[in-house]
């Protein structure tokens, strides 16, 4: 009875990109006391994964940072200070660096975890107010590939699907994706499919999703590009392509078809390690099922040739006409709750709203909406995450502001980060906790509010804008990231540039204008309240789409009365000639191949639906800690375990040329002989990974490197 809510309110979850709606229970003072799920929201229909159920717990963790902390040079310790002191230190140190080394000697690394309005304000403040040029976000580590692949192929970063496609496909092909663990509510939507679909998983490892699939295709690590080209060639040979769609809506298919001729059945089988029968079966599925959808996540995105691999998936959808219809699509599933917001408003690779920094007319247009001098907008896109870290290493960048990400743990070349940090003259970390590996290295820590302690919008994988609300007071002096950016702007002396950004909702109105006439337009949304009562709204949503939605509480849990906003149903893409492009390149070998010293291949991935990223939030929950393994484990095939005389649960050492990690052996045939698997959440895993990057997206290649396993 004590916990009986005085009221409830609905808001989207702040962990993954699924964007489930949670029903937060409030006390008489409007403070969150509990949560359940929202049965009326089309995305999750009353379901949530363990992280969602535990979403409030990290807010009350004892190690929340409650005041700014400044490193005392005398003691070497981070010590509490008030906000004026913290802001003065921020400005003095960062302006000092710019005076000594130039405007572009400052940079930030941010996150796909903060709301869209905060991302946009940060990007605008840093570039137009503080003079930075090179900034990036941890979305580089997860979604940069999809962003670039869609932009090049479709003319805009536009994932075409809705979640209804999970239920409407005759065949779902997951490539480098493990939704059972990484996107469990999306997997539940697959389970709602009544079409008796083929469910194919293309993955070297027999993942939880592969075990549940109708066909697992265990290709050799990083042979995905060859496989996709081989399948495309077999489909052409079989005549199983949609020539009328290709002729009407695409360009450069003839060049692609000619390029594919060398990807014969023999070559594809040899280079992927797959039997010809498996390849034929895959081709049969694609050729004979009416509605085929292709889904990818990090197994594709985190590769050394990831953009072309994503585009090979897009090419398959285009050549078979599997796009723009229910149950089809070349569909990238995003990772973080607001990676999609970052892709539109991160102000790193693209200018706010998906514009191009290099085009003067785009800079003028954005400047006119913001009411600023166009000369304040840099004329080139930012360097990428790895290039920013290289810049620090080489001395061109001397000051770094890290917001809600944990570079010291998650960076692919983790071992180099402490030395890189030493080259920084000033490191600011803005976070909910001062206990992350990166925050512990900071000169200044700014205490930030978390999800549930602030207002704003997150955009999920199907392009749906959802609302988060302030239902809990941030502890001590912690402030929303939005409020911190406003304070920094005023302290820096550029607050007048952001006078119109008076609140998150006022910022939303500015972003709406930036979206006008872009493919991502959402000018038909009047307010936060409009999104709230609509059950989220997918872009595009223009003025003419703004019919009155069915109030969410009048819906049933099984009906989805809001319009499904699948893209490209008219076959018109966002390129200048409105045609999608076939883009392709020769496959390249894995950057680090196994050899006599390091004879095995390390695979990495998400280990549990109860863990998130580096664990900075999920580790705060007793429930989530109990649901996920507490110690690092390594999956080893029985044949390798026998050869190495390793027993189950024995502590072993995994070694690469970069470093080592100790892990408990889990002997299992989920991995193939010669391959091992480590879950990514543990802090020693990125001592091992190999820093290779896709040349188009600069996304790191976390998924495969050469290692050996030793008994200790
Ligand atoms: Fe939150 Fe994602 Fe879990 Fe849904 S699936 S509850 S959005 S973490």
Span 397-445, pLDDT tens digits:
999 999 999 999 999 989 899 999 999 999 999 999 999 999 999 999 9
> What pLDDT band is residue 546 in, cutting at 50, 70 and 90?
confident
Could you please report the per-residue DSSP string of 100-133?
HH-GGGEEEEE-SSS-HHHHHHHHHIIIIIS---
- 185: Cβ below 6 Å to ligand 1? yes
Q: Which atom of ligand 1 is nearest to the CA of 19?
A: 7
| pLDDT tens per residue across span 60-76 | 999 999 999 999 999 99
Q: Does residue 15's CB lie within 6 angstroms of at least one atom of ligand 1?
A: yes
**Where in 186-270 does DSSP place strands (E)?**
198-202, 215-217, 250-251
> Confidence band (pLDDT; 50, 70, 90) for 341?
confident
Answer whether 333 contacts ligand 1 (Cβ < 6 A).
no
196 C-alpha vs ligand 1 centroid, how far in Å?
26
Q: Which of 21, 185, 627, 681 to mutate to test the pocket of ligand 1 (most atoms within 8 A of CB)?
A: 185
Q: How far is the CA of 51 from the centre of ligand 1 (A)?
A: 6
For the Cβ of 334 lying below 6 angstroms from any atom of ligand 1, the answer is: no
Interval 488-509: pLDDT, tens: 999 999 999 999 999 999 999 9
Domains detected in the chain: 69-138+338-546 (3.40.50.740), 144-333 (3.40.228.10), 600-711 (2.40.40.20)
Q: Which atom in ligand 1 lies closest to the alpha carbon of residue 37?
A: 6
CA 443 to centroid of ligand 1, rounded, Å: 34
Q: How far apart are CA 452 and CA 36, in angstroms?
A: 14
Cβ of residue 534 lying under 6 Å from some atom of ligand 1: no
Please give the distance, rounded to the nearest whole angstrom, from the Cα atom of residue 114 to the centre of ligand 1: 15
Residue of 47, 51, 163, 188 to test ligand 1 pocket, by largest number of atoms within 8 Å of CB: 51
pLDDT of 685 strictly over 60: yes
What are the structure tokens assigned to 694, written together? 């896709």
Give the CA radius of gyration of the chain.
25
Q: Are 449 and 466 in contact (CB under 8 A)?
A: no
Position 3 pLDDT exceeds 70: no
As a whole-number percent, the residues of the chain with pLDDT over 90 amount to: 93
Mean pLDDT to the nearest integer, 335-353: 92
If you measure from the C-alpha of residue 441 to the centroid of ligand 1, how many angstroms do you get, rounded to a whole number? 30
Q: How would you class 543 by CB atoms within 10 Å of its CB: exposed for 0-12, middle for 13-18, buried for 19 or more?
A: exposed
* Per-residue pLDDT band at 280 (split at 50, 70, 90): very high
- Average the pLDDT over 634-657 and give the result: 98
Residue where the block lists tokens 């070559």: 267
Q: Is 51 in the pocket of ligand 1 (CB under 6 A)?
A: yes
pLDDT band, residue 549 (cuts 50/70/90)? low
- Over residues 22-42, mean pLDDT: 95
Can you tell me which atom of ligand 1 is nearest the CA of 53?
A: 6
Give the pLDDT confidence score for residue 47 in this predicted structure: 96
Question: From the CA of 631, how far away is ligand 1's center (Å)?
Answer: 23
Average pLDDT, integer, range 681-695 = 95
Averaged pLDDT, 359-373: 98
| Ligand 1 centroid to residue 189 C-alpha, Å | 13
Ligand 1 within 6 A of 48 CB? Answer: yes
Atom of ligand 1 nearest to the CA of 186: 5
Report the atom number in ligand 1 closest to the C-alpha of 14: 1
CA 301 / ligand 1 centre spacing (Å): 20
Nearest residue (by CA) to ligand 1, atom 2, is 16
- Give the list of residues 6+ apart from residue 517 with CB closer than 8 angstroms, or none: none
Whose Cα sits closest to atom 4 in ligand 1? 20
* 202 CA distance to ligand 1 middle (Å): 24
Confidence label for 2 from pLDDT (cuts 50, 70 and 90): low
Ligand 1 centroid to residue 338 C-alpha, Å? 12
d(CA 561, CA 307): 35
What atom of ligand 1 comes closest to residue 460's alpha carbon? 7
The Å distance, Cα 333 to ligand 1 centre, comes to 13
Q: Is the pLDDT of residue 553 over 70?
A: no
Q: How far is the CA of 96 from the centre of ligand 1 (A)?
A: 43
Q: Cα-Cα-Cα-Cα dihedral of 278, 281, 283, 286, to 10°?
A: -130
Q: Which residue has the tokens 């189950």?
A: 648
Lowest mean per-residue pLDDT among 18-27, 467-476, 554-563, 680-689: 554-563
Q: What does pLDDT average to over the chain?
A: 95
| Token pair in block for residue 664 | 């408990």
pLDDT category at 558 given cuts 50, 70, 90 is: very low
Please indicate whether residue 184, judged by its CB atom, sits closer than 6 Å to ligand 1: yes
The pick from 10, 12, 15 for probing ligand 1's pocket by mutation, whose C-beta has the most ligand atoms within 8 angstroms, reads: 15
Q: Does 391 sit in the ligand 1 pocket, CB within 6 Å?
A: no
Model confidence at 269: pLDDT above 70: yes
Ligand 1 centroid to residue 183 C-alpha, Å: 7
**8 A C-beta contact, residue 628 and residue 611:** yes
- The confidence score (pLDDT) of residue 551 equals 56
Cα-flanking dihedrals φ and ψ of residue 138, to 5°? -70, -5
State how beta strands 600-605 and 705-711 pair. Answer: antiparallel
Instruction: Tell me which of 10, 11, 18, 187 to substitute to probe ligand 1's pocket, judged by most ligand atoms within 8 Å of the beta carbon.
Output: 18
pLDDT band at 556 (very low <50, low <70, confident <90, very high): very low
Q: Quote the tokens at residue 504.
A: 């998150």
Q: Is the pLDDT of residue 554 over 70?
A: no
Mean predicted confidence (pLDDT) in 250-258: 98
pLDDT at 544: 83
* Ligand 1 atom with minimal separation from the 22 CA: 6
The residue-averaged pLDDT of 69-90 equals 97
Neighbours of 443 (CB within 10 A): 21
- 176 Cβ closer than 6 Å to some ligand 1 atom: no
Mean pLDDT of 560-587: 89
What is the distance in angstroms between the CA of the first residue and the CA of the last residue of the chain?
54
CB-ligand 1 contact for 187 (6 Å cutoff)? no
Give 143 Cα–ligand 1 centroid separation in angstroms.
Answer: 18
Q: Is 16 in the pocket of ligand 1 (CB under 6 A)?
A: yes
Digit-coded pLDDT (tens) for 213-234: 999 999 999 999 999 999 999 9
Q: 3-class secondary structure for 613-677?
A: CCCCCHHHCHHHHHHCCCCCEEEECHHHHHHHCCCCCCEEEEECCCCEEEEEEEECCCCCCCEEE
Closest of 693, 612, 15 to residue 302, by C-alpha? 693
Please report the pLDDT score of residue 4 as a whole number: 82
Which pLDDT belongs to residue 563? Answer: 59
pLDDT band at 630 (very low <50, low <70, confident <90, very high): confident
- Best substitution site from 36, 38, 52, 181 to test ligand 1's pocket, by max atoms within 8 Å of Cβ? 52
The pLDDT score that the predictor gives to residue 191 is 97
Of 181, 184, 338, the residue with max ligand 1 atoms within 8 A of its CB, to mutate for a pocket test, comes to 184
Does ligand 1 have an atom closer than 6 angstroms to the CB of 18?
yes
Q: Is the CB of 450 under 6 A from ligand 1?
A: no
Q: From ligand 1's centre to the CA of 13, what distance in Å?
A: 6
- Residue of 615 and 470 predicted with greater confidence: 470
What pLDDT score was predicted for residue 543? 86
Q: Name the closest-CA residue to atom 6, ligand 1.
A: 52
The residue whose CA has the least distance to atom 3 of ligand 1 is 49
Which atom of ligand 1 lies closest to the CA of 50? 3
Q: Considering the chain, what percentage of its residues have pLDDT values greater than 70?
A: 97
Report pTM.
0.96
For residues 174-182, average pLDDT: 97
Binding site membership of 12 for ligand 1 (Cβ less than 6 Å): no
């Amino acid at each position: 009875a004590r916990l009986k809510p005085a009221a409830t309110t609905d808001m989207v979850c702040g962990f993954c990109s699924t964007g489930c709606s949670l029903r937060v229970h409030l006390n008489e003072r409007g403070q969150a006391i509990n949560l359940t799920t929202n049965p009326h929201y089309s995305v999750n229909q009353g379901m949530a994964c363990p992280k969602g159920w535990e979403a409030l717990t990290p807010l009350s963790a004892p190690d929340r940072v409650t005041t700014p902390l400044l490193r005392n040079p005398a003691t070497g310790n981070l010590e509490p200070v008030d906000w004026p002191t913290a802001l003065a230190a921020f400005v003095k140190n960062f302006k000092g660096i710019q005076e000594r080394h130039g405007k572009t000697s400052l940079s930030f690394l941010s996150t796909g975890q903060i709301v869209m309005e905060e991302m946009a304000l940060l990007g605008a403040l840093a570039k137009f107010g503080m003079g930075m040029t090179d900034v990036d976000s941890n979305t580089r580590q997860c979604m940069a590939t999809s962003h670039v692949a869609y932009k090049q192929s479709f003319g805009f970063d536009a994932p075409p699907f809705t979640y209804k496609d999970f239920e409407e496909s005759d065949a779902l092909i997951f490539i480098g994706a493990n939704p059972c663990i990484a996107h469990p509510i999306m997997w539940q939507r697959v389970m709602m499919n009544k079409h008796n679909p083929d469910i194919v998983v293309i993955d070297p490892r027999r993942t939880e999703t592969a075990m549940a699939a109708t066909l697992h295709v265990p290709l050799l690590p990083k042979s995905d590009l060859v496989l996709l080209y081989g399948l495309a060639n077999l489909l052409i040979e079989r005549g199983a392509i949609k020539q009328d769609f290709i002729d009407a809506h695409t360009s450069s298919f003839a060049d692609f078809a000619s390029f594919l001729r060398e990807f014969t059945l023999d070559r594809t089988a040899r280079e992927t390690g797959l039997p010809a029968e498996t390849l034929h079966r895959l081709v049969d599925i694609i050729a004979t099922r009416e509605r085929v959808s292709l889904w990818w996540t990090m197994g594709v995105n985190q590769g050394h040739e990831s953009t072309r691999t994503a585009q090979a998936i897009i090419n398959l959808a285009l050549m078979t006409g599997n796009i723009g219809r229910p149950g089809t699509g070349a569909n990238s599933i995003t990772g973080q709750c607001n990676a999609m917001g970052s892709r539109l408003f991160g102000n790193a690779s693209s200018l706010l709203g998906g514009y191009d920094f290099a085009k003067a007319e785009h800079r003028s247009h954005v400047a006119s909406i913001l009411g600023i001098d166009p000369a304040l907008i840099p004329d080139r896109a930012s360097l990428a995450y790895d290039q920013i870290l290289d810049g620090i290493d080489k001395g061109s960048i001397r000051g770094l502001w890290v917001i809600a990400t944990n570079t010291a743990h998650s960076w692919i070349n983790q071992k180099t980060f402490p030395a890189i940090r030493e080259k920084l003259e000033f490191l600011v970390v803005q976070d909910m906790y001062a206990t992350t590996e990166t925050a512990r290295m900071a000169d200044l820590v700014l205490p930030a509010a978390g999800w549930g302690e602030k207002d704003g919008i997150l955009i999920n994988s199907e392009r749906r804008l959802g609302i988060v609300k302030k239902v809990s007071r941030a502890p001590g002096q912690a402030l929303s990231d939005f409020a911190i950016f406003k304070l920094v702007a005023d302290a820096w002396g550029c607050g007048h540039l952001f006078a119109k950004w008076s609140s998150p909702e006022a910022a939303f109105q500015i972003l709406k204008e930036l979206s006008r006439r872009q493919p991502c337009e959402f000018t038909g949304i009047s307010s936060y309240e409009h999104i709230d009562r609509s059950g989220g709204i997918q872009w595009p949503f223009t003025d003419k789409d703004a019919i009155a939605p069915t109030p969410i509480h009048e819906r049933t849990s099984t009906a989805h009365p809001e319009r499904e906003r699948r893209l490209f149903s008219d076959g018109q893409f966002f390129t200048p000639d409105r045609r999608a492009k076939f883009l392709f390149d020769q496959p390249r070998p894995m950057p680090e191949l196994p050899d006599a010293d390091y004879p095995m291949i390390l695979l990495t991935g998400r280990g549990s639906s109860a863990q998130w990223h580096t664990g900075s939030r999920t580790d705060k929950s007793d429930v989530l800690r109990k649901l996920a393994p507490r110690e690092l484990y390594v999956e080893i095939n029985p044949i390798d375990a026998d050869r190495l005389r390793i027993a189950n649960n024995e502590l072993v050492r995994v070694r690469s040329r970069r470093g080592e990690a100790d892990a408990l052996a889990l002997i299992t045939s989920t991995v193939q002989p010669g391959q091992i698997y480590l879950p990514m959440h543990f802090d020693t895993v990125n001592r091992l990974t190999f820093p290779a990057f896709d040349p188009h997206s600069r996304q790191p290649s976390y998924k495969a490197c050469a290692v050996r396993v030793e008994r200790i």
